[in-house]
Amino acid sequence: MTDRSIHIALTFDDNFWAPAYATMRSICLFSKRRSDLVFHLLHRTLTSQHKVDLEAISSEFGASLRWYDLDQSTLFKDIAARMPENKRLSNIVYARLIIDQLMDPSIARTLYLDCDMLVRDDIATLYDWDMQGAPIAAVRDSIGAWLTAGRDVASNRDIFDVAEPYFNAGLVLIDVAQWRAADIIGYMERAYAEGVMQRIYYDQDLLNLVFRGRWLQLPWRWNTIDARPVHEGLDPAILHYTGKAKPWFIITGMRRSVAFTRFYRHVMTNKIFYDFARHRRNRWWRRMLRLDRS
């Protein structure tokens, strides 16, 4: 019997449980194969209440959830402790690199998604995409040249060539066997020893180096980067809120600067939207009082 499962991987810590929920719920809402959805949740520091919130996805839509506690992963903890720290997103960004080592080895394909995304098209269309033998498929990043070349488009010329397409790693369709064969962790260790990891944009740059010239470019609508209101009329399939303004912000002016904010709020649900607002406010005060360093 053919396995019809649609395997989707997300990585997040407890401070991002609500956006993860919204991304998952948007996938389910627009899916015609909800019972085939299998969410692989690579998480850390997740509270029991927030786990209950996420489990509601299964009861509402019949999707399956598989949990991977990164705080129990020796491999992840070792990588996160030694690699350059991502101050904005935390070192949870490195979790996706070990997807192949955490998931069931029988899984042939998985779709990785960042949690600051809103899906509004059937994810099966993307999951079943003809990858034409490529190890990964992704969308070209509109600011890739700036990320790699920096000031005067002159930095890191010994590492990157801006003439080569550069993908955004917030959405990656993965051929798991080829991902495993690429030995991403081994490549990263060598890059760190040579001083390259200390100069590049964390895991996204690393993946672009590992799969240079070996990735399939997807249409832009499957990862609409820096999603703004102007994108709404272009029928994007996936909105990616990469800018500083986010659809979960309470401040009206900031919310209006990104696409589908009202719809996003109701996908997240009013309850979790306001729970998340309180969580972020409490966290801000704890950091101001130096009670919380996370």
What pLDDT score does 293 carry? 59
First vs last C-alpha separation in the chain = 46
What pLDDT score does 152 carry? 82
HEC-encoded secondary structure of 90-103: CHHHHHHHHHHHHC
What pLDDT score does 266 carry? 96
What pLDDT score does 287 carry? 74
288 contact partners, CB below 8 Å, separation of at least 6: none
One-letter amino acid for residue 107 of the chain: I
In the chain, what are the domains?
6-288 (3.90.550.10)
Mean pLDDT of successive 10-residue segments in the chain (294 residues)? 89 96 98 98 96 98 98 92 74 91 96 98 98 98 86 85 94 98 95 90 92 98 96 96 91 75 96 94 76 61
Q: What is the number of other CB atoms lying within 10 angstroms of the CB of residue 16?
A: 22
Burial classification of residue 198, based on how many CB atoms lie within 10 Å of its CB (0-12 exposed, 13-18 middle, 19 or more buried): exposed
- Give me the DSSP letters along the chain: -----EEEEEEEEGGGHHHHHHHHHHHHHT-S-GGGEEEEEEEES--HHHHHHHHHHHHHH--EEEEEEGGG-HHHHHHHHHSPP-TTT-GGGGGGGGHHHHS-TT--EEEEE-SSEEE-S-HHHHHT---TT-SEEEEE-TTHHHHHHTGGG-TTTTT--TTS--EEEEEEEEEHHHHHHTTHHHHHHHHHHTT-TTTS-HHHHHHHHHTTT-EEEEPGGGSEES--GGGGGG--SEEE--SS--TT-SSHHHHTTSTTHHHHHHHH-HHHHHHHHHHHHHHHHHHHTTS---
C-alpha distances out from residue 102 to 91, 97, 147, Å: 17, 10, 29
Q: What angle do CA 168, 174, 175 make, to 5 degrees?
A: 145
| Dihedral sign of CA atoms 63, 267, 54, 227 in order | positive
In angstroms, the CA 268 to CA 185 distance is 34
What pLDDT score does 227 carry? 94
What pLDDT score does 254 carry? 61
What pLDDT score does 283 carry? 78
pTM equals 0.93
